[in-house]
Structure 1
Amino acid sequence: MALAGIPLDFVLFALTLAGVALFHHHTLAVALTGLAAIALFKLGFGDFGGVTGVRGLVQLLGHEWVILANLLGLLLGFALLADHFERSGLPTLLPRYLPDDWKGGFFLLVIVFVMSSFLDNIAAAMIGGTMAGVLFRKRVHIGYLAGIVAASNAGGSGSVVGDTTTTMMWIAGVKPGQVFEAYAAAVVALVIFGVFAARQQHRLQPIMRDDPVDAFFEPARLAIVAVILLAAIAANVFFNLYDVQVLDRWPVIGAAVWVAIAATAAWRKPDWSLLPGALRGSVFLLALVLCAAMMPVKALPDPSWQTALGLGFVSAVFDNIPLTALALHQGGYDWGFLAYAVGFGGSMIWFGSSAGVALSNMYPEAKSVGAWLKAGWHVAVGYVAGFFVLLALLGWHPDSLTR
């Protein structure tokens, strides 16, 4: 069934995204309503990857549950991690080392960028949001929030352990050096959006100039943050190297985070009261991911740099994990370009990446597509500029890798 030549399930998904954009105070209800409408339509009139009815839905859920469980574990776990980091007192000490003007905000984005190269981008964004909340006395510009998300996604785009999409490429046989090329674009983008975002923030609320009188440092909290992050990294790297199939069958990365949280809870008690709020934002993201997984996307356009550029914009509204899977299956891409496009493109809308959803849980005022696009326009400019710098410097060199 189609409307004006467009499959009706795509129309329903577009209406869901439009509802999220228009009714940003009711995003969870809109997302769940859209998910229910799409599932009911496909049960009655469509199929799930070629399999009809309840059997097709069960098969889809059986395939997607690992991704969904990993995301849930990471989003909830990193909400507690960010709180541990804030309560460590380290953010209150940063004014000693950051410049007092707009450059302080810029260097904070650089820190987030670097962290995301070896941490999960969700953790980098939430740590960046926590530090910004302290340094700017809880008055954070939406354009700067977009900059934090963009920095976390850009920093992960060139590292095979920095983003789920680049890890997928690594598993499929893409060499780390091919993904690393994305940094040629990501650094350019960081400079562009970072300067504009930092200036926006400085005009709204300058950075804290001196240490507050109650500044403190609790190494134990920071050690717990390190344990949780190392658990996630170790699970990812270990199973990638020795048993790839485990990552496909079980949510080991999310589970590793919660094992670390449980193991350190007696040392310093987490703030469990944060979980209900984090759960709402997490369910919203999982609903959108599942909606995207139900879409009948059977093929992408022929691989080219133009297609890769377009995928960056598509990833702002369409989950980048299935996009990456399709591109790997299709083959013929320059993987550095693809890593940058799908890794960074989601930053252009607040729900376009899991990092954006996680940060918006901390700053609910960011849950407005209009406000995000208006204040964070520099993210799209940085994306395009970085892409063409990469094209000019390295050129398009497609690889024949197929899954």
Structure 2
Amino acid sequence: MLSAVIACFVIGYVVIVFEHPLRLDKTVPALLMGAICWALLSLGFNSGALDVVDSYGQLFSMGGHGVDHLSDAAHHDAEHGFTGTLLHHLGKTAEILIFLIGAMTIVEIVDLHRGFDILKGWISTRSKKKLLWIVGILGFILSAIIDNLTATIVLVTLLRKLVPDREQRIWYIALIVIAANAGGAWSPIGDVTTTMLWIGKRVSTAGLIEYLIIPSLVCFAVPFLFASFMKPFQGNLVTPELESDEGVPVSEERLLSSKTMLFLGLGMIVFVPIFKTITHLPPYIGMMLSLGVVWLVSEYIHPEEDFTEERKAAYSAHKALSRIEMSSILFFLGILMAVAAIETVAVGEVGALRAVAESLDAVIPNQDIVIMILGFLSAIIDNVPLVAASMGMYDLGAYPVDSKLWHFIAFSAGTGGSMLIIGSAAGVAAMGMERIDFIWYFKKIAWLAFVGFAAGAAVFLLIENVFNTAG
């Protein structure tokens, strides 16, 4: 039965990779994979063929002969353990989805009010190379403040205004994924994995910034330096202005609420980590509050525009909700629940992912190499369970807060995902919003992400092993 669960995951992953040749939306195999993996896991568990492990490392089993040979109390405990594990993983997945829905809705509300036209007006260059560096630096900085996922959503929306040609635009967006993941690695709120390590008291805010900002800068700058000499970023952009019915260029049309909604929207997203710090509540609660505030303002700001009720509806949050990529939300649901099923399957007395991590540690004695492999794996498998497994592998007593180990895990898991388009939340969001082909990204961008990851890792190890040791 274990083989069936793993086979289901592998087949589903392959179908996702080849979604364009198969002409099948990636959401379909993701949902099927998530549901079937858990169905197989449940059948195997209830028949006694599989054991499961919850997030606290507790093993639940129906025994080798299945449910009929268990006492009522033992059966209840085992069944409750399985159900509780499923609900736990669904809850963790829902946290990500609610956060994503809130962020995407706020961005769409700002876009409906033409708020990003304000940013567009600040970027006057038509040079493809200069634009690459401008949006890259924006992605690197924004991702550290509002997380790599939200920064990617904001910049994809901005690039739709700046680069009308989709074939040209996806090159910029692919590089933004690299910049956003690099920027998120040195901030405790920049990536879900760094947040996990921060909340788990493995790293501190000051420690992350001190030890990871230079490697992260290298991870961002090296790919962009190489890309600057590539053909897609040579020359100038051709951006013909669209005209309205009155003959006025659309980009010159302004709403009185454009600037207000831009700063309110971005400000409320930035407020989320502040809210978390003050209340110690999960980030999705702060995002719910931020969305509520932006929605409230958007309902009452239009009388100053002297709009009719019909025209106000075109700028409402309801309209924004209809524009978000629900297929991307469902893709996240399927893929994260499928990974959770693999994490839950017991191999011996630990989960399958934990077993893989321990095997790597036993086979490869050099810890730095193990963590770099973790970075490569994070491009294939969701980095959240990988980081969770690594947190369980290494004892906090042996590796205290801000040890080299935890910083390297934060860097590798955060930036390694850039090597595949589905290897990070930022990549998945970009893939969903612009329908970027997996194979195209692998052929054109993966090597750039690898070069950046390798360069950043080398700089990190040089600083830690040479300068810090010498000091």
TM bucket (normalised to shorter chain) is: 0.7 to 0.9
SS for the counterpart of 1:236 is: helix
CA separation of 1:55/1:397 partners in 2, compared to 1, >3 Å: closer, same or farther?
farther
Show the counterpart of 1:42.
41
Counterpart selection for 2:444 from 375, 382, 386: 375
Is the CA contact (8 Å cut-off) linking 2:105 and 2:317 kept in structure 1? yes
Identity %: 22
SS for the counterpart of 2:380 is: coil
- Cα distance between partner residues in 1 of 2:413 and 2:85: 23
SS for the counterpart of 2:123 is: helix
Is the CA contact (8 Å cut-off) linking 1:20 and 1:31 kept in structure 2? yes
- Cα distance between partner residues in 1 of 2:465 and 2:138: 29
Is 2:137 aligned against 1:110?
yes
Deviation of 1:159 after TM superposition, in Å, equals 0.7
* TM-score w.r.t. length of structure 2: 0.74
SS for the counterpart of 2:389 is: helix
Matches within 5 A, 1:188-267: 188-198=218-228, 200=230, 202-203=232-233, 206-207=236-237, 213-216=249-252, 218-240=258-280, 246-247=281-282, 251-266=284-299, 267=301
Deviation of 1:292 after TM superposition, in Å, equals 1.0
Deviates more, 1:339-348 or 1:137-146: 137-146
Deviation of 1:394 after TM superposition, in Å, equals 2.1
Show the counterpart of 2:367.
304
- Cα distance between partner residues in 1 of 2:226 and 2:19: 28
Deviates more, 1:321-330 or 1:193-202: 193-202
Encode CA deviations 1:26-58: one digit per residue, 9 max, x unaligned: 211111111122112111223431335864542
Is 2:378 aligned against 1:315?
yes
Is the CA contact (8 Å cut-off) linking 1:144 and 1:376 kept in structure 2? no
CA separation of 1:238/1:208 partners in 2, compared to 1, >3 Å: closer, same or farther?
farther
Structure 2: runs of 5+ lacking an equivalent = 45-49, 54-58, 62-77, 243-248, 302-314, 343-351
SS for the counterpart of 2:149 is: helix
Q: Which residue identity does 1:215 align to in structure 2?
A: S
SS for the counterpart of 1:161 is: coil
- Cα distance between partner residues in 1 of 2:204 and 2:275: 20
Is 2:443 aligned against 1:388?
no
Show the counterpart of 2:66.
none
Matches within 5 A, 1:13-162: 13-24=9-20, 25-45=24-44, 46-49=50-53, 50-51=59-60, 55-86=80-111, 87-88=114-115, 89-96=117-124, 98=125, 100-139=127-166, 140-162=168-190
Is the CA contact (8 Å cut-off) linking 2:163 and 2:239 kept in structure 1? no
Deviates more, 1:177-186 or 1:295-304: 295-304
Is 2:338 aligned against 1:339?
no
SS for the counterpart of 2:146 is: coil
Is the CA contact (8 Å cut-off) linking 2:223 and 2:452 kept in structure 1? yes
Task: Give the number of the structure whose alpha-carbon radius of gyration is greater.
Answer: 2
Deviation of 1:176 after TM superposition, in Å, equals 1.9
Q: Which residue identity does 1:305 align to in structure 2?
A: D
CA separation of 1:205/1:47 partners in 2, compared to 1, >3 Å: closer, same or farther?
farther
Deviation of 1:110 after TM superposition, in Å, equals 0.9
CA separation of 1:146/1:138 partners in 2, compared to 1, >3 Å: closer, same or farther?
same
Counterpart selection for 1:179 from 201, 208, 232: 208
- Cα distance between partner residues in 1 of 2:335 and 2:466: 32
Show the counterpart of 1:170.
198
Aligned length: 384
Deviation of 1:288 after TM superposition, in Å, equals 0.8
Structure 1: runs of 5+ lacking an equivalent = 241-245, 399-403
* TM-score w.r.t. length of structure 1: 0.85
Q: Which residue identity does 2:463 align to in structure 1?
A: L
Is the CA contact (8 Å cut-off) linking 1:154 and 1:343 kept in structure 2? yes
Deviation of 1:346 after TM superposition, in Å, equals 1.5
Encode CA deviations 1:72-129: one digit per residue, 9 max, x unaligned: 1222222223334442122321332x47241221221111101111112111001111
